[in-house]
Each structure stands twice: as structure tokens, then as C-alpha cells.
Structure 1
């Protein structure tokens, strides 16, 4: 009887030990590396990371500089998520490079604006003015749409900004004979003053002290804008239990308040 009792008691101890181990593992935070751009991206995700702790997440923002792509690192499994791009850019990257990635949530709208040290509005640009636009397809399209909306150029008939991107080849009329110069966004942000005007996205403009609402001479519309920034994960992680918690960490009142107070005029919440 004694031997049988000891065996049962030992079994109970092992079972209790297993319960404590499982509870301990469940209580450990889930470590997530999220690829972002520097500047405002770092600040927002610092706030989101604090919120994430309440959901059992340990969010580690990983900053990518220059032309390095968080999407490449995400696709290869070096990151669990990234949050630096808008939907058209994401769509082009997936189509061109075959990434197996999925959109899981919206973050904010980062309005593209034109800046100039020489002119106060785009309408002041003289004939033959040199105008810089980003050289990646999605942001170049955004810049061309602003030029169209401001009446400086027209685009081909039937162009649909929600489903396609515009290139220089899509310019139908350019009555002022603008010299449109393509360049990297990081280059335009740091040297826009060398051109008559240049289009700069907020993620790069903020790094050199530019504020679209304060310094821009024209910016894209906020309403019905297809260029909302998003959170992306690998397709295989789309239904992982930490995904909705990561999205909730960013789409929180704390992050919204930070955007609306500290980043007013630079970006707009999209949640």
C-alpha cells in the first residue's frame, strides 16, 4: 500500500509540476520584432510597446535606414511584423518580389507634401521648373496625383489611383513643361532646396524637421486616400494569437492621443 501511495503521490507532484511549468510559459511575454523607419516611427512604436506589455507582448521596434527594406527581413523570418509602408507600396512589393506577406491592420496616413525654398505655392512655379518626385512607383504616383489635382499636369484617361500607379509615361499634358526629376525619398528630403520644389513623404521629411501642414506648399488630400499605412506579417502568421494583440497595441487610445498631440500636422490616425 505504501509503495502504491508513494507512486500516486509522485504522479501528483509531476502533474502539479507540469501545470506550474505551463502556467509559467504562458505568463512569459511574447517577443516580437517589428520593422519600422526611424523618426516618427520610433516614437509611435515606443508608445505602442508600452501598451503591448499589458497584452503580454514584448515589442521590439527594429529601425531600418535608407533603402534597406523591412519587407525582405520580414519575409525571411528575421522579423515578426513590419509597419512602415502604405497599401500601394505593399501591393507593388508583393507583386514584384513574390513576398508571402499579409496586411493585418491600419496605422496612420502620412500625407505626401511638396516643399520649396523658392516658391510659396505650386502655382508659382515657372515654366521649365525642376520638380523632384520619389523614384519608387507608389510614391511617385502620389506626387503626380498632387500635381494633377493642383492643375499643373493631366494624367492619361481612365487612370485609377485605387488600383494602379502612375508613372511619368502616364503624363498626358504638361503645359508648364516641368522638368520632373526622380530621386530616392531620403535624397529629396535632404536636398529639396536644390530643386524648385520636391515631393517628400512624412516618414523622411520628419527626420529633417519638415512638417507637411506647416512647411508644405501643397499636400495630398486626406479624405478617401488609398495610401493608408499598414501593419504586415508573414502569411503563415496571419492567424497567430499575438497578431490581434499587436494590432490593438498600436490601435490604442494612447497611440491615437500621441499622434494627435505630438505629431499633429505630420500624420493622421487611420484607426
Structure 2
């Protein structure tokens, strides 16, 4: 007797939504619920593995997690995320919502709420503590959205761009720049080595700049091999994205590495992000070494499509 059930059922999308209090987590989980996700908010961390190991209901799942969760501990959440990324039966992603410290303080002042980590002190004390607690979780984010300059309406629209495309299969793209000295970022699907291109580090006038600077980009693009490399790489990515989307993959991470993660990899990441954006793909950018050097001052919000 034959069965009509697929031998390999599609992986269930599971999104962990987290970030510092006041960055917009509630708005994000509400937006995901509107998109058809089953939302479970503030479930004790000790119960999450049991939930994920149980039978999947077929609907995508969004899990709201922050420091208010009972028995919250960063190392426990890290283990859950790493297990999620390694599973075949679920398509796990971490959506991390961030905002600048002064904006988080202003939001608390406007609502007159007490910070969960500083109920008897100033919001700033709690915010500082929370940011430090979540720093290792932030580094594991698949999608990082900076809500500093976003209204709730803007954030909701951003979530829709990431997780719904006309009701059909969705594929979001994250582009990473990184330094080979510090190893590959976690969870990359495709890696491109940019170390063969001209290195602006050797030009004293460009050394302190990074790949977002027009002069640095022009220096890198002047390499005779750049044009052919970028065209072929872009064509490959453009060919693969629809194929991954049709296969049911909901997120693709592409990494570009160079020696210091400051010039060549950043320039290529920025150029490809602009090309994918023009083609209508939702794109997020992570410049790991710039983020490490400058902290939250690097704008890592998702790219907006026209």
C-alpha cells in the first residue's frame, strides 16, 4: 500500500524574535501573526526544546523571546538557536530587533514603563545590562533590523517584506562581509573570497576608510578582474535565488571575505545588495568587522525594496 505523504516533508519555518526591550519585538510578533504565523510569546526557555521536538502543525511558528522570559539565560538561548540552525525538520531563523541606546531610553521615558532589569532604577541601567546580556545572541542573528528610525508601521512593513511575498514561497537574503582572520560567520550557505582584488589597505589615503566609501569602491572596482568577477558572481546568485525559493528555502546567507573585512568584502557586499534590491529581493546586510569595531553605530537595518 502506497502513501501519498511526502517522504521528506518541507521544513517548518521557525522564527525566534528577540532583542532589547523597547526595540519593537511586540510589533514584530504581531506582524508575523497577521502573516499566518502561530505566535508563542514569552514561553519559558526550558519548555522551548520540548515544543520544537514535538509534532509540527504545518503552520510557520514565531517565538517571542527576551529577558522577561522565565528562566532566561543567554547561554541557554544560544544552545537552542544553534540546535535550531542544525536541524533539517525546521527552517530556523533568528530575527533580532535592535535600536540605539538613546532611542530605547526615549521610548521608555515616553511610556513611563519600568525596565525589567532595573525595576527600581533608571531605564538606562537596565538597557545597558540587557544589551550586554544579548550581545552573543545578536551575533547569531540571521536577520538584524535596526528600528531606531522606524515607526511601528515601518517595522510592520519591513517584517512583511522579509516573511511574505504575495502569499507564496518566501526567500530572504542576508549578505555578510567578514575577515578571514576571525573565521567564517555562522550559518553561511555560500562563501566568496575577495582577497584576490586590489587591497585599499595599501593606499594610506584609503586605509582608515571602509568599503561603503565611494573612493574605496572605485579603487576596488578599478581592478581588471573586478568587472568579470562581479558579473559572473551576480549572475550565479540571480540564477540560484529562484531555485532556492522554489525548493522552499526561506533564507539564504552569502558571505564575502577578505583579509581585514573592512574594504574589499564590504564593497562587494554593498554592490551586490544594491543589485538584489533593484531586482526586488529583500536583503539584509551584516558587516561583521565594522559592527565589531563601531558597535551599534553601523546601520544594519534591512534593505528596502522599491
Fold match (TM-score > 0.5): no
Which one has more relative contact order, counting CA pairs under 8 Å at least 6 apart? Answer: 1
Between structure 1 and structure 2, the one with the greater Rg is 1
Tell me the TM-score normalized by structure 1. Answer: 0.26
Tell me the TM-score normalized by structure 2. Answer: 0.24
- Structure having the higher strand fraction is 1
